[in-house]
Structure 1
Amino acid sequence: MIKPTKHAVAGLAVAVLGVTGLAGCGSLDESSSGGGSDKVEAGSVDPTALKGVTVKVGSKEFDEQLLLGQLTLAMMKAAGANAVDETNTKGSTQAREKLIRGGSDVYWDYNGTGWINYLGHDKPILDSTQQTEATAKEDLAKNQLVWGPAAPFNNTYAFAVTEDFAQKTGVKTDSDMAAYIKKNPSATVCVESEFAARPDGYPGYKKAYGITSGQLKSLGTGVVYTQTAQGNCDFGEVFTTDGRIGNLKLQVLEDDKKFFPLYNGVLVEREDFVKEHPEVQEVMKPLAEKLTTEVMQELNKQVSADGLPPAQVAQDFLKKEGFIK
């Protein structure tokens, strides 16, 4: 096998990003454990593509990430790899550092997270492909990380209210939310702890929409959904691909000032690992292209709302789509 040069890796990091697209909003959420079947038979996946290669698959701790991790594990096994489950790492920074240290070889992250949180940019790029390409180019140069392939789904932040609250108050947009809080300073805004401190989270959101009052509550990821649905939060921070939005009859508010960045899912690897095993990108690209916002909403619903294990949901999807038998 001919190993790619650094320039070839740089080209790969950008070229594969062409599959990224704007798919609208999408869903995600929270905790489960890793695990998964070891008996994966190859369907459309070449069973010899990664024969004998050890691939450590990481993920963050919330449901969408656990699902993406299990999808990746299954694809790696189908391609003949010795796939090691290193999923369920708590926190974005910790999951990224684990990759950099070699504790994992591949995991899924989001272009908006990369551009703003990791690379320190204040302003998002509002074109999906450009956002991913810029992130890939800079992260490769600075941190020797390769971004790609990208998926079309966009799992960004949003605020949601109950359908009943929206009907009674007429709140439909984030500007409406700001106006409501101004008139009702005791209104409760529930967010997860990480969002409360992120520059692309509530601090920046408040500034963009001119919010100076309201009662902020920091809750565990996922708890926000149920507390909002039960009326204990007037406004709840959600992920737009989360299957529980529809299940709990929540209504997502329109980000009419377009504050929140794009968060398309992207497979991330270390440069040294890509040089040794460029086939990983080839195996994963067809799957990435299938992961639209609508697909992720449905898969996340099965995990977050229906309570199915991420490994089972991943297996069922990959069999249905013909990737594995």
Structure 2
Amino acid sequence: MRLQKALLPIALSMLILLSGCTTKDTITVGTQTFTETKILGYMYKYLIEQGSNVNVDVKTDLSSSPFIVNALKENEIQLGTLYTGEIFNDWFPIQQTKDKQSVLRQAQQGFSKYYHYKWYTPLGFENTYAFTVTKEVADKYNLKKISDLRKVAKEMRLGVDTSWMERDNDGYKPFVKTYGLSFKNVFPMEINLVYKAVANKQMDIVLAYSSDARIKQYNLVTLEDDRHFFPPYDASTVALEETLKKYPAMDKALKKLSGKIDIDTMRTLNAKVDIDMQEPEQVAKEFLQQQGLLKK
């Protein structure tokens, strides 16, 4: 009996210690295949882990933005990066417009109403589709805008992001219909391959991403979307409302990035990965520390 009494304080002490060592909950951020979403994914990770009692896994290369929308829907991931033009992929009824504020408002209201996602204030940059050619090709055919392609498209090989071919409202089929174009060949490929393909003359024209630093690296010329085919594509953090309700500190952490990254900054960060071959995780960490958003 005396032994039991002697052991009781020790047992209570162990219970107190164990109660303080509870396992942290884990959430998952999903990224697409292109670089900036990976950099942003790690920014989310660092900010959330610093500001809350939650661990964050980063799941990369989840194909296209529609895949991110569906992964959120299935709760396979709890947050990611999406672009306002995603509303044109038939997720819910929308008002047809190209006005940036109207598109943003519809993204925020529609994804909240129909999917219970929180669509944050944009990060500060737009990443739209950009038809690009080498300066040599632009000079040869006097190409300045997409409409100029009508006279030469039938002789040209076009390289495009695979996921763009599958988009019903802002993809290949409505694009060629809007501009009245017919290309010699169309080659779907992973977005990271298009830049070298056109620079090495394997393609005559490619569909690039406007925030990609490799446009400048390969001295490519972007053709003006003179018929305003593409809608706004402002980048935003998107998260499950249920997850944010469960972890209020996560919401506070994510708000810190809104409006903090302009197009030049994003291109610079992308260049560090795509050109300088740095790791997205390290690039994200250094940026946050430089901005005073992450403790060193």
| Coarse TM-score class (shorter-chain normalised) | 0.7 to 0.9
The CA deviation at 1:188 is 0.8
Match of 2:171 in 1: 201
Match of 1:23 in 2: none
Which of these residues, 201, 221, 226, is aligned with residue 251 of structure 1? 221
Using the aligned pairs only, state the percent identity.
27
**Greater CA radius of gyration, 1 or 2?**
2
Decide whether the 8 Å contact of 1:156 with 1:240 is kept in 2: yes
Which of these residues, 104, 122, 137, is aligned with residue 165 of structure 1? 137
Decide whether the 8 Å contact of 1:53 with 1:80 is kept in 2: no
Which of these residues, 173, 185, 201, is aligned with residue 231 of structure 1? 201
User: TM-score, structure 1 length as denominator?
Assistant: 0.78
1:127-206 pair list within 5 angstroms:
127-181=99-153, 185-199=154-168, 200-206=170-176
Match of 1:8 in 2: none
The CA deviation at 1:123 is 7.2
Superposed CA RMSD in Å reads 2.0
Structure with the largest fraction of helix: 2
The CA deviation at 1:228 is 0.6
CA–CA separation in structure 2 for the residues paired with 1:122 and 1:175: 28
Which of these residues, 92, 97, 116, is aligned with residue 88 of structure 2? 116
**63-72 or 97-106, larger mean C-alpha shift:** 97-106
Q: Does 1:319 align with 2:289?
A: yes
Give secondary structure in 2 for the equivalent of 1:313.
helix
Alpha-carbon displacement from aligned partner over 1:58-103 (angstroms, at most 9, x marks no partner) = 2222211111101111111221443322321223233222222222
CA–CA separation in structure 1 for the residues paired with 2:92 and 2:132: 27
Match of 1:13 in 2: none
| Aligned AA (1:162) | T
CA–CA separation in structure 2 for the residues paired with 1:110 and 1:58: 14
Decide whether the 8 Å contact of 1:190 with 1:233 is kept in 2: yes
The CA deviation at 1:120 is 5.5
Which of these residues, 231, 247, 250, is aligned with residue 280 of structure 1? 250
CA–CA separation in structure 1 for the residues paired with 2:283 and 2:137: 33
CA–CA separation in structure 1 for the residues paired with 2:88 and 2:121: 19
Decide whether the 8 Å contact of 2:120 with 2:258 is kept in 1: no
Gaps of 5+ in 1: 1-51
Gaps of 5+ in 2: 1-23
The CA deviation at 1:280 is 2.5
Alpha-carbon displacement from aligned partner over 1:107-134 (angstroms, at most 9, x marks no partner) = 1111111x11252668753222221111
| C-alpha distance 322-118 of structure 1, shift in aligned 2 (>3 A) | farther
| Aligned AA (2:64) | G
Give secondary structure in 2 for the equivalent of 1:288.
coil
| Aligned AA (1:188) | R
Structure number with greater CO (CA < 8 Å, separation at least 6) is: 1
**60-69 or 213-222, larger mean C-alpha shift:** 213-222
CA–CA separation in structure 2 for the residues paired with 1:120 and 1:187: 36
Alpha-carbon displacement from aligned partner over 1:194-217 (angstroms, at most 9, x marks no partner) = 112212121111011111343211
Decide whether the 8 Å contact of 1:116 with 1:123 is kept in 2: no
CA–CA separation in structure 1 for the residues paired with 2:217 and 2:75: 38
| Aligned AA (1:105) | Q
The CA deviation at 1:273 is 1.6
CA–CA separation in structure 2 for the residues paired with 1:121 and 1:167: 43
| C-alpha distance 191-219 of structure 1, shift in aligned 2 (>3 A) | same
CA–CA separation in structure 2 for the residues paired with 1:243 and 1:190: 18
Q: Does 1:83 align with 2:52?
A: no
Match of 2:28 in 1: 56
CA–CA separation in structure 1 for the residues paired with 2:137 and 2:280: 32
1:279-298 pair list within 5 angstroms:
279-298=249-268
Match of 1:105 in 2: 78
Q: May I ask how many residue pairs the two structures share in their alignment? A: 271
